[in-house]
């Protein structure tokens, strides 16, 4: 194998240790810990498993975590009322409404109701605008793109002047990571191209990427011959391509595959993220970082 593996599972451990130490220090100096509320509406199994992991991680780093689980038939008005309550709760620094929401609730209305200074997902238009301006304006970068940037930096990959090609233009990954990589500053200063379903020659763009970030949701979309030798390949795809029985638990679990043909790509790239165990673990880690940051802004120590 030519490529160095960038393991999200290892980087997660380093960052969570850093956060735990910082939380303990703030608790000692200021007598407070970050407060995070996770609002889950309904019983979508994937959402339950994400929320369970968020809660477990929040406890691990010493946060005060409130889990607010609501039934599927909660009205939009009642959900907006809950958000208002947490917006005005001094002990809460981060509010996370797990998506997707039931169909009768307008997600946009709900996300826009969260106080931008407690929007640790970074989805509120104010935070999207802050991200676009860059520099000191940025409060809460969205978690998956923040995780991607952190992985690139911690792997020691040069970003300044690098050709970054982002495959996918979603609001959650493609657009924000492209914006972050082109900003002035460390871990950025790149020349960025976004390609998508209407791009005419996807292969030609990918082939010149020093850093290729793929968030298309199409298993095996990126072919090995599209990868520039020695480049850094970040695979954000999490595609369920089958099921298997877990050796650990004996339960049925999904077989996951990325958007890149990993086995072939790892022989060409210089750095590559695996699926699972690559970008995935970074999202919740960065949520913890944003929640800690929210408290630090409030205390004037960020």
The yes or no reply on residue 286 touching ligand GUN (CB under 6 A) is: no
Judge whether 98 counts as a catalytic residue. Answer: yes
Judge whether 121 counts as a catalytic residue. Answer: yes
Q: Which of 286, 287, 157, 170 is nearest to 234 (CA)?
A: 157
Interface region with ligand GUN, contact rule CB under 6 A, candidates 2-10, 92-100, 163-171, 265-273: 92-100
Please list every residue from 139 through 158 that binds ligand GUN, using CB under 6 A: 143
| 232 and 212 Cβ atoms separated by less than 8 Å | yes
Q: Of 22 and 119, which CB lies nearer to ligand GUN in the complex structure?
A: 119
Smallest gap from residue 141 Cβ to ligand GUN (A): 12
List 4, 7, 27, 54, catalytic entry: 54
The yes or no reply on residue 99 touching ligand GUN (CB under 6 A) is: yes
The yes or no reply on residue 36 touching ligand GUN (CB under 6 A) is: no
Q: Of 99 and 254, which CB lies nearer to ligand GUN in the complex structure?
A: 99
Among 183, 257, 283, 285, binds ligand GUN (CB under 6 A): 283
Residues lying near ligand GUN in the complex (CB under 6 A) are found at: 50, 96-99, 121, 143, 283
**Catalytic annotation, residues:** 54, 98, 121
């Amino acid at each position: 194998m030519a490529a160095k593996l960038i393991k999200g599972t290892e980087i997660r451990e380093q960052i969570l240790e850093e956060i735990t130490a910082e939380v303990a220090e703030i608790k000692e100096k200021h007598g407070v810990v970050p407060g995070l509320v996770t609002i889950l509406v309904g019983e979508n199994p994937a959402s339950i498993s994400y929320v369970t992991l968020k809660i477990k991680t929040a406890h691990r780093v010493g946060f005060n975590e409130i889990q607010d689980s609501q039934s599927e038939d909660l009205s939009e008005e009642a959900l907006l009322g809950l958000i208002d309550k947490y917006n005005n709760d001094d002990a809460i620094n981060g509010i996370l409404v797990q998506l997707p929401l039931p169909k009768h609730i307008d997600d946009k209305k709900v996300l826009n109701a969260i106080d931008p200074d407690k929007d640790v997902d970074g989805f509120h238009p104010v935070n999207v605008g802050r991200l676009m301006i860059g520099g000191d304006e940025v409060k809460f970068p969205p978690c998956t793109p923040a995780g991607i940037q952190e992985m690139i930096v911690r792997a020691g990959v040069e970003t300044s002047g690098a050709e970054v090609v982002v495959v996918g233009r979603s609001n959650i990954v493609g657009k924000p990571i492209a914006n972050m990589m082109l900003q002035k500053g460390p871990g950025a200063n790149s020349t960025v191209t976004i390609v998508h379903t209407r791009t005419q020659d996807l292969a030609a763009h990918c082939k010149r990427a020093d850093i290729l970030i793929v968030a298309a949701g199409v298993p095996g979309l990126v072919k090995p011959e599209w990868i520039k030798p020695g480049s850094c390949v970040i695979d954000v795809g999490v595609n369920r391509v089958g099921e298997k029985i877990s050796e650990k638990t004996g339960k049925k679990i999904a077989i996951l595959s990325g958007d890149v043909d990993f086995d072939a790509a790892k022989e060409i790239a210089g750095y590559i993220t695996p699926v699972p165990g690559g970008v995935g673990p970074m999202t919740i880690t960065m949520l913890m970082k944003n929640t800690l940051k929210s408290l630090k802004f409030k205390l004037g120590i960020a």
